[in-house]
Amino acid sequence: MKTYDAIIVGAGPAGIFTVLELTRKEGAKVLLLEKGEDIDQRSSLGNLDHSAEVGNSSVADLSGWGGAGMYSDGKLTLSPDVGGFLHNFIDVKELTPLMEYVDDSYLRFGAPEKVYGLDVEEVRKLQERAEKCDLKLLPTRIRHMGTDRCPQVLRNIKESLQDKVDIRFKTSVRDIVLERNKAVGVVDEKGEEYRGKYVVLAPGRQGAEWLSGVSEQLGLSTVSNPVDIGVRVELRGSVLKELTDVTYEPKLLFTSRHFDDRVRTFCMNPYGEVIKEVYNGVSTVNGHSLENGNSDNTNFAILVSTSFTEPFNEPISYGKYIARLANFLGEGVIVQRLGDLLKGRRSTKERVARGAVKPTLQEATPGDLSFVLPYRYLTDILEMLTAMDKLAPGVYSRHTLIYGVEVKFYSMKLALSSSMETQVQNLFAIGDGAGVSRGVVQSSASGVLAGKEILRRLG
């Protein structure tokens, strides 16, 4: 049986950057296991003709080379206080250069030069306007790769690893092999065992539930993150142009009046398209955009963060339950005009067709989201849309489209060291699935942390 220096489970940004770091050591024996397909076999958005209507086809594939980020719109958020929780593990003075290191790597593999949010004075003016509307605008710097360029960047990374690492696709890991509370390998679903001095778990959002089961099996300490549930909003791109031209993705925070909940915008896609994601058989909604835009609309999520207390402690199951309810009522994703929602009536194909905003996700079923989302979530979402309308008139238009539901399944945080090592010696956990990141850059950075520590121990 071949023994590796390190075994990495998951080929998303976290796993890929662990491999990039480890292969800096000449002759390092590295095995990367991924349950999905290789980059050119992935069947979703990356293989479509982007001159066509990408959103009309579109189930985003969350597994395979590049992970869920493969078909995201490739936002590289370069501000340390956004996109994850690495500041809880290392000092911000260390995190900032680490994120710059990751950004330089993406540039080297083909990311564009342009960065949004560099005009400090313009950002400050937007912040002051937001404050007058009961909103907080987080200043961020963003490099946008686009759904069209992102696969090529990931392809360039893979080509750079040619002959340096053993990669096995369509291989799901079942168990972690321990000896004397030390990780020494993994076993796949077919019962084949792989031995390694170090094991790195990078399952991504798609594997968060799997990692939760592994953690329970190994007796690892975990903390539940809040579950984020909400909707995706679609409106004419001109409504938010003044904000998106400056920051590309304005990150807005709001505290609801009725329930004092934390509400935020997430993943804004100027001139982009709404897409459907499938998570373990459950359809949810997301969005993306090409490097130079591909529609007349802008879409973004409004998410409500909820932390559960005893006796209930299954936030992932709760999020899936809400999504399944939407799937049950709408046979997939539901779309509703804001005007119909406010009048207490369901949207129909005819009503949507008459609207000023044309949906980019054609397969969404017109319906009534008030039958899906609890009153608390709907109240929070409508309150935030009202506040945003003061900042950018037109957000609260009756023609604005609401898609549901959007759920983020990163609801478990492992107890980890500053180098991402778990309570089991030589077992590391990184990325969104481990609850340490919520974006491409910090996910990649967590992989660098694990890789650097393994390199140090390998000498």
Structure tokens at 191: 């019962």
Q: What is the pLDDT of residue 54?
A: 34
Q: What is the pLDDT of residue 61?
A: 65
Structure tokens at 257: 């009046």
Q: What is the pLDDT of residue 71?
A: 66
Please give the Cα distance from 210 to 281 (Å, whole number): 15
Distances in Å between the Cα of 246 and the Cα atoms of 25, 100, 125, 206, 319 are: 41, 21, 11, 32, 33
Q: Tally Cβ neighbours within 10 Å of residue 354.
A: 10
DSSP string, 169-203: -S--EEEEEESSSBEEEEEETTS-EEEEEEEEE--
pTM, two decimals, is 0.89
Annotated domain spans of the chain: 3-117+142-223+413-458, 227-408
Nearest Cα to Cα of residue 267 among 299, 307, 222: 299
For helices 440-458 and 92-108, what crossing angle results, to 10°? 100
- Residues (pLDDT < 50) of the chain are 44-60
Distances in Å between the Cα of 283 and the Cα atoms of 326, 403, 455 are: 9, 12, 40
Q: Which residue has the tokens 């306007």?
A: 129
CATH 3.40.1190.10 fits 3-117+142-223+413-458, yes or no: no
In 74-141, which ranges are E strands? 75-77, 136-138
Q: What is the pLDDT of residue 47?
A: 34
Q: What is the pLDDT of residue 10?
A: 96
Q: What is the pLDDT of residue 427?
A: 98
